[in-house]
Amino acid sequence: MKYIMFICLLLFVSACSNNDQSENVSAPMQGEVDRLVKLYLERDFHKIEPRLEILDEDWDDVEVQGTAYYVSVDEPGASNDNNGLFPTYQGGKDGPLKDFNARPPNLEPGDVLFIGEGDYVLDETLSLSFDGLKDRPITIRNYPGVRPVIRVQHRDLHVIRLQGDGLVLQGLEIVGGLQYGVLMKGDYQTVRYNIIRRAGFDGVKGNLDSDYGLIEENEIHSFDHEGVDIVRGDHWIVRNNIIHDSTNTGSNEEEHSSHGIFAKGGSDDILIENNEVYNIKSRWTAAIELGGTTADEFLDFEPSGEYPFEATNAIARGNEVYNVDSGVGMVSCSKCTIEDNDIHDTNWQGISIVNGEGERRDTRDSIIRNNLVYNSGSMWYMDKGTSNILFEYNIYGAEALDPYFSFGEVRWRDNTVDVYNFDEYNEIFFYGEGNTLKN
């Protein structure tokens, strides 16, 4: 139903360009409306089917560059005294390992550790301290066609710690952990095709100075703080994930907001695209946030002693964000972009542009482009002091507009707003070329 309602809204906006206000709608704006309608209709990337392809594999579909090892808790004959070189028991020492209570094999670049179906209960965090290579990673994954469950017995542990370069984690269900479901500490790590749930803090944590991370096609839910949290990481991609239902139960006994995806602490070159994020209690922050407010101890200060920007060259594009407090935002961000997102049914603003706290640097030199914002408490919010911000080709539709807004240095171009209950103060939003206000 939400798709039908929104397409009707867009068609209405398009049709209005033919009435006596048509001279106010530029040709580029009309082109953007058409392109965004097409984009919305084609946007099925966040559905669950692509992630399930991993369960449709068989052994013939799997390529192993190095040595294959096997762990299978329910396989008859499985034992931690076996050599782990066979998926089923062959006799003698030839068969799979049973569980992770013994140290995993000493994996080398190109090796794959296959995990069979079953419930693996860990006595302690599973730490994978091996180093693969960018083009020859070490992979820890499911047996083809099944999804094993890995959980910790005690709530005071992470579930899995990736503590090496060139590691891939895929096809698992990862449950619990007082802090993190998966902690990524290394370069060129990939987490994909997993279900990650019930983390006490974050579903996936990208730790300090871990670069070139890829988080894709996971379902991450029922976390207390963040679905994905990247701190001081460069060259990360977070795409095609379903991230939903933060719990905000206060595992650390304090009131807090949550984020679906968070990139902060001096992170650079971050791409967050094609994710579906919903049911996040983001409160005064955004469900997808570029930048943030990181404690001083985790920051790498400029040589001059200045705070770094919390995020630089970060992009949030093509995401659908709904049923959250605030949609997509920037905090202490430089050269960042929010574009092509569908943001709807927010309690507060759809888009927020916010300065850093205290002596932290203000958001600047950023673009908000081609976004669809509707059924939201307000269109956008921008702090006074933000500078060189360009809003262009955005579309907003709602029954009423609550502008919770203060001016920074901003340029407006070719935006369209369709508001059924028009208040006179709305006029302040739309100076600049080609902007259209309808009611």
User: 355-360 contacts: CB < 8 A, separation 24 or more?
Assistant: 355/331, 355/383, 355/385, 355/386, 356/291, 356/293, 356/307, 356/310, 356/331, 356/332, 357/293, 359/307, 360/293, 360/307, 360/310, 360/332
Q: What per-residue confidence (pLDDT) applies to 9?
A: 42
Q: Confirm if 190 and 201 have CB atoms less than 8 A apart.
A: no
- Using pLDDT thresholds of 50, 70 and 90, give the confidence band for residue 375: confident
Summarised one tens digit per residue, pLDDT across range 50-100 is 444 556 678 888 889 999 999 999 999 999 999 999 999 999 999 999 999
Position 35 pLDDT exceeds 70: no
Does some domain include residue 65? Answer: no
pLDDT at position 380 is: 75
Ordered DSSP codes for 102-125 = SPPP---TT-EEEE-SSEEEESS-
Give 399-415 pLDDT, tens digit per residue: 555 554 555 677 878 77
Q: How far apart are the C-alpha atoms of 102 and 122, rounded to whole Å?
A: 11
**Highest-confidence segment of 249-253, 303-307, 400-404:** 303-307
**Looking at the domain assignment, is residue 347 inside a domain?**
yes
Q: How far apart are CA 309 and CA 275, in angstroms?
A: 24
In a domain, 136, yes or no: yes
pTM for this entry: 0.85
Backbone angles phi, psi at 368, to 5 degrees: -120, 110
Q: Between 106 and 288, whose confidence is greater?
A: 288
The CA distance from 198 to 180, in Å, is 9
- Both tokens of 151, joined, read 């959980």
Classify residue 21: in a domain, yes or no. Answer: yes
**CATH code at position 206:** 2.160.20.10
Assess if residue 102 is contained within a domain: no
Please list, in sequence order, all residues whose beta carbon lies within 8 angstroms of the beta carbon of residue 435, skipping any fewer than 6 positions away: 24, 412, 413, 414, 415, 416, 429
End-to-end C-alpha distance for the chain, whole angstroms: 23
3-state DSSP assignment of residue 245: coil
The verdict on residue 79 lying in a domain is: no
**pLDDT tier at 188 (50, 70, 90 boundaries)?**
very high
Q: Provide the token pair at 52.
A: 């399930």
Is the pLDDT at 293 greater than 70? The verdict is yes
Highest mean pLDDT among 100-109, 253-262, 315-324, 416-425: 315-324
Domain hosting residue 12, numbered range: 2-51+119-438
- What single-letter amino acid sits at 385? G
Lowest mean pLDDT among 58-72, 121-135, 323-337, 366-380: 366-380
Q: What percent of the chain has pLDDT over 90?
A: 53
Lowest mean pLDDT among 70-79, 130-139, 201-210, 346-355: 346-355
**How many angstroms from the chain centroid is the CA of residue 224?**
15
Total domains present in the chain: 1
What band does 16 get if pLDDT is binned at 50, 70 and 90?
A: very low
Domain membership flag for residue 75? no
Which of the two residues, 438 and 155, has the higher pLDDT score? 155
pLDDT band at 336 (very low <50, low <70, confident <90, very high): very high
- Lowest-confidence pick of 319-333, 343-357, 372-386: 372-386
Q: Is residue 67 part of a domain?
A: no
pLDDT of res. 424: 44
Higher pLDDT, 333 or 8: 333
Q: Give residue 153's identity as a one-letter amino acid code.
A: Q
Where residue 123 falls among pLDDT bands split at 50, 70, 90? Answer: confident
CB 87 within 8 A of CB 58: no
Q: What is the pLDDT of residue 337?
A: 96
Quote the pLDDT of residue 37.
Answer: 46
